[in-house]
Amino acid sequence: MSAVTTGSLHEAAPATIRRQLDRDDVLMRVGIALLICWLFFTIALPLWALLSKSFQNQDGQFVGLANFITYFSTPALFQSVWNSLYVAILSTVIVLPLAFAYAYALTRTCMKWKGLFQALALIPILAPSLLPAISLIYLFGNQGFLKELLLGGSIYGAGGIVIAQVFYCLPHALMILVAALSMADARLYEAADALGASKVRIFFTVTLPGAKYGVISAGFVVFTLVITDFGIAKVIGGRFNVLATDIYKQVIGQQNFEMGAVVGIILLLPAILAFAADRIIQRRQVALLSARAVPLEPKPEPRRDWAMFAFCAVVGGLIFGILLVSFWASLITRWPYNLTLTLKNYFFGDFDTNGWEAYWNSVILALWTAVIGTGIVFVGAWLLEKSRGFAWGRGIAQLLAMLPMAVPGLVLGLAYIFFFNAKWNPLGFLYATMAILVINSVTHFYTVSHLTATTALKQLDPEFEAVSASLRVSLLRTMVRVTVPVCLPAVLDISIYLFVNAMTTVSAVIFLYSTDTKLASVTIVNMDESGFTAAAAAMAMTIVFTSAGVKIAHVLLTRRLERTTQAWRRR
Amino acid sequence: MSIATNHNPDGAPYLRIERLTKQFGSFTALKDIGLEIYPGEFVCFLGPSGCGKTTLLRAIAGLDIQTSGRIFQGGKDISALPSSHRDFGIVFQSYALFPNLSVSANVGYGLVSRGLPKVEIETRVNELLHLVGLPDAGRKYPAQLSGGQQQRIALARALALSPGLLLLDEPLSALDARVRSHLRVEIRRLHQRLGVTTIMVTHDQEEALTMADRIVVMNHGVIEQVGTPTEVYRKPASAFVADFVGTTNFLNAVVAGPGHVRLGDINLACELDVHFGPGNDVTLAIRPEDVVVRNIGPATPNTFDARIAEIEFLGSFCRVGLAINGELAGGPPALVADFSINAVRDLAIAEGKVMPVALPPDRLRVFARPPQAP
Ligand SMILES: Nc1ncnc2c1ncn2[C@@H]1O[C@H](COP(=O)(O)OP(=O)(O)O)[C@@H](O)[C@H]1O
Ligand SMILES: [Mg+2]
């Protein structure tokens, strides 16, 4: 017998081998099927309900494009498209250079107090978008104490929206740009230096191209945030209509659900386009940083460093100032007539029937969202990352998991009304409960959490599962014993992200709360509408304090975790 | 006494692979592979990067199932079994140790879920740690060990359940040279002690030559040759093997008649396959150390004159460039030979000298030219 049996004379092609499934495979496939079901019911079907609603009349009959034709032939409605694009583009154009310079100062200079400036710039993330708008009204509104600076102009309208958006979007752009600018290969700079390139030339030929994809990504993020944000336009937009406020007016004001659906679809378009464009461009990005790259250590350059310090002090100061204005406003008896300090604006029961209950509802929502969301997201990402075979199932789940990113909160909320409120839907019992708010929040913030979890899982050695199988240990056990402990920092990040966002979001929940489940952020809108601006500021501040507290606890916990696990974590 | 080398062609193979093919989309990574591995053998899959070694190993482990073809282990058809139902231990280049578990917990990972009593697990873990020479590492975490130590732990973990088959995928490639050669010996010793059938993937020919009972040389998804290290080195089955394993001279020649080829004006006797006919273009292969320069007499076959064109001193021997045929007066070397320092001294070999050399017929390999594209 020969050791090698060479492939013999052309026989029929041998049969394809199909691997038998073991218990892990079966469990994981069931898990993926459940994940697909979950995503199907929480994102795909609601969007479908929204889509079909936009093609129906008030009696539920199919009317083709009639609603869209009405929309585009009504100048009062159609104007909002241009208005939305205008503020979104203007805000993006302002935020990008500011955020870039700020990120540059944080990553590429030897400026003092970097930590402080970084923390300052991230403050707006902890606040609802309504907060900067409220502060601006106190500063420049009809009774604002800096009103004269506007020389007779009005803060209500595009100007106010853009300023507030710049405040609100800056940290989002900043995080992306800091990440992009921290990745730099010192060897490139040394080479450019050795070739005698000027500082300006190095900036334009090395620094900027290196951060190109970060800038593009940040641009899309800001554009999408602005065009889909509801709170700022609601509070400070005045008679300047944008798409987000139009939806609200159509649905809540005029009960015209069909026209609301049309505006929702239109709002979906730029968000989806921006999302798709960003994905395509990011895919082109090749790894700029090879494994041999030498990290760039900025060298002191007093003139530049101090100039950047001044810049950051101004920007960071303004951000903190805007926060302080709201805080101060929340402590004043009666603006502008009685400036004595008081806590009575925090007696929310005097301004809104739900009082403090709304705040506790928000906390409960945020907790549930963090717990349930982290569980579903992490297990889901684990299933998609670690299961074998079943490519089509994983593909569908992956696609559905990316979908929420492209859907603005307001549109998602509206889609939920149509889906969960439909007469035929057996899930209708969820309508107007805390559960639907939790489901909505988990879905709204699903994609970012999913990507965080996936990134963390990808950093694990892909052979852990192979080793487990060879030792005949179930993958589930390996997940509990190894995967989760190693990914714990990412798990914490996800839960905090979900908590803070569920705490601060307005747009996703404005259509879905009931009298029993009214939320803090919704109360802010209501109190502002009723003229209780000081109470609105106070409620906004309680949200800020809560998310800041959670964030600080997160930092402390992460530090502790790093200490207790440093024995096995590589430096 | 070693049971490792007794691969007995008459006994039943432990592992048999039949007509195995693996496709990634339209790319064929493994083509119609057939192979038999005998109980207790240490087999190396050797080949350049990307030739399909890992793919074959993973098919054997059931980690990436083959597209078609069958695999039998211990007489049982395991072709479609999931990894968890197969009997093997595996070690990766990356170690793949669980970073958050202590060394003991890593080694005992598979034992714990068997539900063995705690004492028994502890005893077994200690035994394994002794076996790999790290009896005191139990309480440490993998990150606190060196690369070589981590790889030993991975080895201990793979052996914990006493698998019938041990699979090693480039286990030494991530280590530095000194640790590598040390661990080579250790793995080999471990194998002889346990007698477990072992397959090791490597792209390092030296590793394969020193460790394997048999080497499976692979290229572009096919097996080029299977044989003992001596066979593979002495009698490479193809020009590829001759080139990939060790250093080889390749010379263009033409078949002159049965058992004879012509290299320019030189007529050479050699072992010639029957399917070569006169006038066929062939490639002659001979290793530098097989070129003979001592004790050449009138009866020595395949003797001809060569001019010493270059000498490179390499310590215990010299690598010498020989100009032959029409280049005796001057010209580039066509043939590289390794001569011992002794020979160089005794024969006063120096640049420019013309002297007789011989190419022993049993050392000459003849391949069709151009080498058939695999
Ligand atoms: N999952 C995969 N998808 C597509 N191609 C693959 C995959 N895994 C391996 N290959 C390809 O198969 C060939 C053999 O790979 P591999 O077995 O890893 O080679 P090596 O001999 O270096 O271990 C390579 O060309 C590789 O690019
Ligand atoms: Mg490999």
- pLDDT confidence of residue B287: 94
Residue A355 pLDDT > 80, yes or no?
yes
Looking at chain B, how many residues does it have?
Answer: 374
Inter-chain CB proximity A3 and B63 less than 8 Å: no
Residue B324 pLDDT > 50, yes or no?
yes
Beta carbons of B14 and B165 less than 8 angstroms apart: yes
Residue B20 pLDDT > 60, yes or no?
yes
State how many domains chain A has. Answer: 2
What would the mean pLDDT of B64-82 be, rounded to a whole number?
95
**Ligand 1 pocket test, candidate residues B21, B31, B54, most atoms within 8 A of CB:** B54
Residue A285's pLDDT band (cuts 50, 70, 90): low
Distance between CA atoms of residues A281 and A288, nearest Å: 14
Residue A279 pLDDT > 50, yes or no?
yes
Closest residue by Cα to residue A565 from A557, A378, A497: A557
In this structure, which residue's CA is closest to atom 7 in ligand 1?
B24
> Is there a single domain that holds both residue A255 and residue A385?
no
A115 contact partners, CB below 8 Å, separation of at least 6: none
- Structural domain contains residue A165: yes
> Is there a single domain that holds both residue A93 and residue A153?
yes
> Is there a single domain that holds both residue A455 and residue A320?
no
Average pLDDT, chain B: 91
Residue A456 — φ and ψ, nearest 5°? -65, -40
Residue A290's pLDDT band (cuts 50, 70, 90): low
Q: Which of the residue ranges A182-191, A422-431, B343-352 would you say has the lowest mean pLDDT?
A: A182-191
**Beta strands at B165-169 and B89-91: parallel, antiparallel or unpaired:** parallel
Where among A301, A329, A357 does a domain terminate? A329
Inter-chain CB proximity B32 and A6 less than 8 Å: yes
Inter-chain CB proximity A473 and B109 less than 8 Å: yes
In this structure, which residue's CA is closest to atom 25 in ligand 1?
B50
Return the CATH number at A509. 1.10.3720.10
Residue B270's pLDDT band (cuts 50, 70, 90): very high
- Structural domain contains residue A340: no
In this structure, which residue's CA is closest to atom 2 in ligand 1?
B24
Q: How far is B14 from chain A (nearest CA, A)?
A: 12
Beta carbons of A428 and A422 less than 8 angstroms apart: yes
- Structural domain contains residue A375: yes
Residue A6's pLDDT band (cuts 50, 70, 90): very low
Which among A471, A486, A570 is the top mutation candidate for probing chain B, defined by the most B β-carbons within 10 Å of its own β-carbon? Answer: A471
**Tens of pLDDT, residues A308-341:** 999 999 999 999 999 999 999 999 988 777 888 8
Which residue carries 């898990």 as its tokens?
A: A31
> Is there a single domain that holds both residue A272 and residue A360?
no
The answer to whether B116 contacts chain A (CB < 8 Å) is no
Q: Considering only residues 66 to 95 of chain B, which have any Cβ-Cβ distance to chain A shorter than 8 Å? A: 66-70, 79-86, 88-90, 92, 94
- Structural domain contains residue A514: yes
Per DSSP, helices labelled H in A20-74 are 23-39, 45-53, 66-73
Q: How far is B360 from chain A (nearest CA, A)?
A: 28
Q: Considering only residues 196 to 225 of chain B, which have any Cβ-Cβ distance to chain A shorter than 8 Å? A: 214, 223
Beta carbons of B251 and B291 less than 8 angstroms apart: no
Residue A65 pLDDT > 70, yes or no?
yes
**Tens of pLDDT, residues B153-210:** 999 999 999 999 999 999 999 899 899 999 999 999 999 999 999 999 999 999 999 9
Handedness of CA A31, A37, A39, A41 (dihedral sign): negative
- pLDDT confidence of residue A468: 95
Residue B126 pLDDT > 60, yes or no?
yes
A99 contact partners, CB below 8 Å, separation of at least 6: A170, A173, A174, A177, A218
Of the listed ligands, the closest to the CA of B221 is 1
> Is there a single domain that holds both residue A447 and residue A408?
yes
Handedness of CA A179, A180, A181, A187 (dihedral sign): positive
Which among B56, B71, B79, B98 is the top mutation candidate for probing chain A, defined by the most A β-carbons within 10 Å of its own β-carbon? Answer: B98
Distance between CA atoms of residues A259 and A272, nearest Å: 20
> Is there a single domain that holds both residue A310 and residue A458?
no
Per DSSP, helices labelled H in A354-433 are 356-386, 391-402, 409-420
Beta carbons of A437 and A513 less than 8 angstroms apart: yes
Q: Which two tokens stand for residue A571?
A: 């430096």
Of the listed ligands, the closest to the CA of B218 is 1
**Ligand 1 cavity residues, CB under 6 Å:** B 24, 27, 29, 47, 49-55
Average pLDDT, chain A: 89
> Is there a single domain that holds both residue A68 and residue A162?
yes
- pLDDT confidence of residue B189: 94
Residue A185 pLDDT > 90, yes or no?
no
- pLDDT confidence of residue A2: 41
> Is there a single domain that holds both residue A44 and residue A84?
no
Count CB atoms within 10 A of the CB of residue B123.
Answer: 12
Query: Which residues from A are below 8 Å from B69, CB to CB?
Result: 14, 17
User: Which residues make up the environment of ion ligand 2, defined by Cβ < 5 Å?
Assistant: B 54
Rg of chain B on CA atoms, in Å = 25
Q: Which pTM does this prediction carry?
A: 0.88
Closest residue by Cα to residue A111 from A299, A309, A310: A309
% of chain B beyond a pLDDT of 70: 96
> Is there a single domain that holds both residue A121 and residue A44?
no
> Is there a single domain that holds both residue A146 and residue A172?
yes
Residue A214 pLDDT > 90, yes or no?
no
What secondary structure does DSSP assign to A180-199, as a single string? Answer: HHH--BHHHHHHHHHTT--H
Which atom of ligand 1 lies at the shortest distance from residue B64's CA?
A: 1
**Tens of pLDDT, residues B296-312:** 988 999 999 999 999 99
DSSP A422: -
Q: How far is B323 from chain A (nearest CA, A)?
A: 40
- Structural domain contains residue A344: no
Residue A557 pLDDT > 70, yes or no?
yes
- Structural domain contains residue A357: yes
Ligand 1 centroid–CA B55 distance in Å is 6
ipTM of the prediction: 0.87
- Structural domain contains residue A127: yes
Residue B336 — φ and ψ, nearest 5°? -110, 135
Which atom of ligand 1 lies at the shortest distance from residue B56's CA?
A: 17
- pLDDT confidence of residue A8: 46
Beta carbons of B133 and B185 less than 8 angstroms apart: no
Ranked by mean pLDDT, the top range of A109-123, B68-82, B331-345 is B68-82
What would the mean pLDDT of B114-131 be, rounded to a whole number?
93
Closest residue by Cα to residue A248 from A239, A260, A259, A258: A260
Residue A388 pLDDT > 80, yes or no?
yes
The answer to whether B21 contacts chain A (CB < 8 Å) is yes
Residue B345 Cα to chain centre, angstroms: 34
> Is there a single domain that holds both residue A459 and residue A323?
no
Ligand 2 centroid–CA A51 distance in Å is 50
**Ligand 1 pocket test, candidate residues B44, B46, B49, B55, most atoms within 8 A of CB:** B55
**Residue by residue, what is the 3-state secondary structure of B31-48?**
EEEEEEECCCCEEEEECC
SS3 A333: strand
- pLDDT confidence of residue A7: 44
Beta carbons of B39 and B197 less than 8 angstroms apart: yes
Which residue carries 């005893």 as its tokens?
A: B123
Residue A511 pLDDT > 70, yes or no?
yes
> Is there a single domain that holds both residue A40 and residue A89?
no
What would the mean pLDDT of A421-446 be, rounded to a whole number?
92
Query: Which residues from A are below 8 Å from B114, CB to CB?
Result: 472
Beta carbons of B320 and B282 less than 8 angstroms apart: no
- Structural domain contains residue A342: no
Residue B374 pLDDT > 50, yes or no?
no
Range of the domain at A258: 58-285+293-329
